[in-house]
Amino acid sequence: MAYTSSKFEMGVDPSQVDLAANGNNSQEDFFQTLSDEYSTWISHNKSVHQFNAYAITWAMILAIVGVVLFSGGVLVGVLQIRGMGVSYGLLALELGVSVVLGMMVYYSDDIFDILKPESS
């Protein structure tokens, strides 16, 4: 996913190949430049992956909240529930369920580690 969500370009381009082919760059310089670029690329990919992980997590949480709130609205309409107290109570229940499900998504990695610890 980092490759599709990033404009970062690195690696050997035609100018580097020409420099190496014409003898303007030593093999050691060529590999040092390549090594430095790969180090930068790996660091950049780590940042992009971290941002994407948060973005996807929040998108999932908001989608779950939307489904819960929509379902509650449909339930109120189908059951023809009347009264502000009941509506506010149901909204509070929906928000509580949304928070619990959202926290489960946000901390899913920790929950998975508790349920299935890695063997040492």
Is the residue at 84 inside a domain? yes
Q: Looking at the predicted structure, is the pLDDT value of residue 19 above 80?
A: no
Q: Burial, 64: exposed, middle or buried (Cβ in 10 Å; 0-12, 13-18, 19+)?
A: middle
Average pLDDT for the chain: 81
The larger pLDDT score, comparing residue 97 to residue 33, is at: 97
Q: Looking at the predicted structure, is the pLDDT value of residue 21 above 70?
A: yes
Range from 16-20, 47-51, 92-96 carrying the lowest mean pLDDT: 16-20
Q: How confident is the model at residue 4 (pLDDT cuts 50, 70, 90)?
A: low
| pLDDT value, residue 63 | 92
Is the residue at 76 inside a domain? yes
Is the residue at 110 inside a domain? yes
Is the residue at 2 inside a domain? no
For the chain, how many structural domains are there in total?
1
Q: What share of the chain is helix, strand, coil (3-state, %, to 5)?
A: 75, 0, 25
Which of these, 68, 97, 73, lies nearest to 87 by C-alpha position? 73
Mean of pLDDT values over 55-64: 89
Is the residue at 3 inside a domain? no
- The model's pLDDT over 25-56, given as tens digits with 9 standing for 90+, comes to 777 887 887 788 888 888 888 888 888 888 88
| pLDDT value, residue 10 | 63
Domain that holds residue 31: 14-115
pTM of the full predicted structure? 0.58
Phi first, then psi, for residue 5 (nearest 5°) are -110, 20
Is the residue at 9 inside a domain? no
